[in-house]
Structure 1
Amino acid sequence: MSVEITGREAEGTRWDLVVIGSGTAGADAAVRAAQLGLKVLLIERNRDRPGGTCVNVGCVPTKKLLYLADHYHELSKYLVNEGLIIDAKLDVKAMFRAKDQLISQIIAWYTFRVFPSWGIKMLFGEARLASPNSVKVGDSVIETKNVLIATGSRPKVPPIRGVEEGLRRGFVITSDDFFSLDSIPDSILIIGGGAIGVELGTLLHKLGSKVIIVEIMDRLLPTFADAELGNYLANRVMREMYGVDVRVGTSVTEVDPDNRLVRLSSGEAVKVDKVLVAVGRVPNTEGLNLEGVGVEVKNGAIMVDDHSRTNVPSIYAAGDVTGKYMLASVAKVQGIVAAENVAGINSRIDYNLVPMVVFSDPEVASVGIAASKDDPKYMVTKMPNTINYRAIAYNKPYGWTKIVIERGSKRVVGFHMIGPWASEIVNTAVIAIKNGLTLDEVKELVFSHPVFTELLIDAMELASGSNVYLPKR
């Protein structure tokens, strides 16, 4: 690898920024800092997995597998009635090879094209802070003006009886382990009904698994502000459309690897082939010597401000290690903000408008204020997706698009959707909310037609009384 250097070579250079971790936050920060003329060293401890969680065991491989599963599901279940008569067969090993090829392609793009073009150097090894301005890797102590910690996260393992033993024996897997499977289990119980559990549950169902999702809270997606999203997903989608067994308000009390059983708080014992733990992730802060240099850590996460700074002026942190949202989208902006502040630009991240997305089918997206219909400050309008022409053409006329309007100003302040391409439409909503788009102004906009994005405009037109797609109530 042309960007790789040794610890001894790194010692001989005075760096402007040393980045620990090559995931989304670290890689994007390194590139942005180099663009601004800084001399950057990127340190990664895992030679076999540069690129971090998103590229290797997160958003990238999940989307590839979901893309393939969606096509398989459509061909085998629906399109046979619309002229596409194909004997669809599932080759799981080929699917996972395609996933691995995508990962290798992205890693190669950065290590052989992007990093060398900006003069970024890369060092493989375990890094720890020796001081606020130096990093130790092996026997080498590397001096730097600034440090960015971007060491990411790992799956959280709940303290459930039998889980640790189940992990050792392969009966229990984490979301990271999922991407190393060589076959799809006939049945699986997923502990956790958040974004990870729902996405992998959707994927596994489409690939033929009998899926059970167990969520301790009273609904799926319990961290989403609009409770209706999780309830609709559980009842209308998972249970009715797919036949997935969803248990909310239920916990797992014991995992029994010997008998391949999972015992629930309801007293039931469920027999399955695999158990998938998807109860969140925890920051990777161990071994960094954070206490030794005085970096503030709370509940296992590094504390940062809106400029991605820690309480130590020369040390920044970005990505999952900060415990904020644990989304690649946030990690990217945090990393870029850190790099720009290192370069002397007063840059910050706005945590008030972070879109939350689940790549289920239908997709779920949410941003901004959630309100009830009886809230005097807001007007809440829900548009059924059933009238969108493209949704009908694509066999996806389900779900709804909800907007929240501030009554006084008529500005859109919230967007919550379950439906096709919600992950894309929410970004348009972010721009609309950020720029204070009002109901009156939306009438002046011309969108291409027919597209899914019209659902946002249709919902706003419904709120203003000018929607032309629905019958008179």
Structure 2
Amino acid sequence: MKIVIIGGGPGGYVAAIRAAQLGAAVTLIENKYLGGTCLNVGCIPTKVLLHTTELLDVLKHDAKELGITISDYHGDWPKLQKRKTKIIKKLVGGVNGLLKNNGITKIMGTAVFVNAHQIKVISDNQDEINNAATVIDFDFAIIATGSKPVIPPIPGSNHPDVITSDTALSLDAVPESLGIIGGGVIGCEFASIYNAFGCKVTIIEMLPEIVANMDRDIVKPLKEKLLKDGVDIFTSTRVESIQESAGGLTVTTSSQTGEKTITAKKVLLSVGRKPELSTLNLDLAGIKTARGAIVVNQKMQTNVPHIYAIGDCNGGVMLAHVASAEGILAVETIMGKRSQIDFKTIPYCVYTKPELASVGLTEAQAREAGYDVKVGIFPMAVNGKAMIMGETTGVVKYVTDAATGEILGLHMAGPRATDLIVEGALAIRLEATVAELMATIHAHPTVGEALMEAAHAVDGHAIHLMR
């Protein structure tokens, strides 16, 4: 069984390894760097920077309270950039080692469909490699080409000081000021990073709230923290133009309150991502697309039965862990194994301070779906471990079906939220009830106790809350 995988990101390389484990002859084609956006200009580098900003926040606000006296400290941006590069290099090297260990053939270059059963590879210098190895015959192909930042049609968005998330990770120096267009996950994470390093940050969001896909009760603590730290946030605000000015760049916005201008040295475009399909020649393979994404069924299969598409390129949930799960699903389907993904259990995470994490239905979504909803909320301010850590901002919130007690959603803001959300994902996957969560002993003292308390709070029985 010959399987060709196009793209070496968290979807492609995971699919390649799983296919090799199941006995397939696997060729992986990558046109830029192993690990894709996630390892190189996405998940990993942003979290490296965010970890340091979290420590800076502790030193700035909590050091004395925690019994630490430091006479002088400062964020060292160049040194942090070196650390980021070191971690990326180590992880990418690890992926390369795993490919070798599993006997996977790796080819660096751009994959282009010749027809529905052949792919040719073009080298980095865009000259075709003229030997037999560059035209690859395959039994099955998996497309995992990922996505790229959306550049909105805003006048002035092509200015050199208007940057994307890719560039924002590797600036030589921290700008004096930064305007961020888009208050989603990426925008808020970059706001936290640059604000911690002394940059004046302004978020401009067209929707009524930042991080609009998450439950309002957990987004509120993040918004309050950003505002407290000096980040300006303008919601329900549309960007009309970006122009060069004496102070850097002037961003002209409009809202119900009228027109407003914001000046910043650099402007970050953070309005989303779109599938990267530009070099594939999908038409030659007969692969259908819709709204700029490859059309797939529940098994990630395209309209061409032996070609699959996983991760961002199929226009679904654009998260690295979803791409990896879809890669395994596609490979196991190809190899004749029963496989499935429960898309109700996808965790969504924001690695700010406080961290946000969410799985399942929000309260609003559950009510819209017709459920008789009961909610349990427990504040981090009452959790002993959160007090010890000095991170008492946030809440744990369960959304449940009042009739059955089934957990429909778990939403968290606070310390270790992105690690603890797996408990909610598993609970939803197993159709667990609030009673089953309450009956599960949680270790003390841990932040995880707040999950048990929030389960008790659904029926008004939280032990550590005043009645």
Which of the five TM-score ranges fits, normalised by the shorter chain?
over 0.9
Q: 1:245 aligns with which of 232, 248, 252?
A: 232
Q: 1:340 aligns with which of 312, 316, 332?
A: 332
Task: Tell me what 1:203 maps to.
Answer: 193
Q: 1:297 aligns with which of 289, 314, 321?
A: 289
- Establish whether residue 193 from structure 1 lines up as the match of residue 183 from structure 2: yes
- Establish whether residue 37 from structure 1 lines up as the match of residue 37 from structure 2: no
- Establish whether residue 92 from structure 1 lines up as the match of residue 77 from structure 2: yes
In the TM superposition, 1:57-456 aligns within 5 A as 57-86=41-70, 87-111=72-96, 113-137=97-121, 138=128, 139=130, 140-164=134-158, 166=159, 169=160, 171-224=161-214, 226-234=215-223, 236-239=224-227, 241-259=228-246, 260-265=249-254, 266-371=258-363, 377-456=372-451
Matched letter for residue 200 of structure 1:
F
Q: Distance in 2 between matches of 1:426 and 1:118?
A: 31
| Gapped regions of structure 1 (runs ≥ 5) | 1-14
Matched letter for residue 59 of structure 1:
C
Q: Distance in 2 between matches of 1:123 and 1:25?
A: 17
What number of residue pairs does the alignment pair up?
Answer: 448
- Does the CA-based 8 Å contact 2:293-2:313 persist in structure 1? yes
> How far off is 1:365 after superposition?
1.5
Q: Distance in 1 between matches of 2:313 and 2:283?
A: 15
Identity of aligned residues (%): 35
> Residues 381-400 of structure 1, C-alpha deviation per residue, up to 9 Å, x if partnerless?
22111101111111111111
> How far off is 1:195 after superposition?
0.5
Matched letter for residue 244 of structure 2:
P
> Residues 337-370 of structure 1, C-alpha deviation per residue, up to 9 Å, x if partnerless?
1111121113222222211111111111121122
Counterpart of 1:238 in 2: which secondary structure? helix
Q: Distance in 2 between matches of 1:414 and 1:257?
A: 45
> How far off is 1:37 after superposition?
0.7
Counterpart of 1:339 in 2: which secondary structure? helix
Q: Distance in 1 between matches of 2:52 and 2:465?
A: 35
> How far off is 1:80 after superposition?
3.3
> Which range moves more in the overlay, 150-159 or 349-358?
349-358
Q: Distance in 1 between matches of 2:18 and 2:3?
A: 11
Counterpart of 1:80 in 2: which secondary structure? coil
Q: Are the structure 2 counterparts of residues 445 and 229 from structure 1 closer, same or farther at C-alpha, using a change threshold of 3 Å?
A: closer
Q: Distance in 2 between matches of 1:27 and 1:232?
A: 37
Q: Distance in 2 between matches of 1:133 and 1:344?
A: 20
> Which range moves more in the overlay, 22-31 or 414-423?
414-423
Q: 1:54 aligns with which of 2, 20, 38?
A: 38
Q: Distance in 2 between matches of 1:370 and 1:66?
A: 26
Q: Distance in 2 between matches of 1:376 and 1:50?
A: 44
Q: Distance in 2 between matches of 1:393 and 1:377?
A: 37
Q: Distance in 2 between matches of 1:73 and 1:465?
A: 35
Q: Distance in 2 between matches of 1:257 and 1:319?
A: 37
Measured on the aligned residues, the alpha-carbon RMSD in Å equals 1.6
> How far off is 1:212 after superposition?
0.4
| Gapped regions of structure 2 (runs ≥ 5) | 122-127
> Residues 244-300 of structure 1, C-alpha deviation per residue, up to 9 Å, x if partnerless?
100000011111134421111142222111101100001001121112222111111
Q: Distance in 2 between matches of 1:283 and 1:439?
A: 39
Task: Tell me what 1:10 maps to.
Answer: none
* TM-score, scaled to structure 1: 0.91
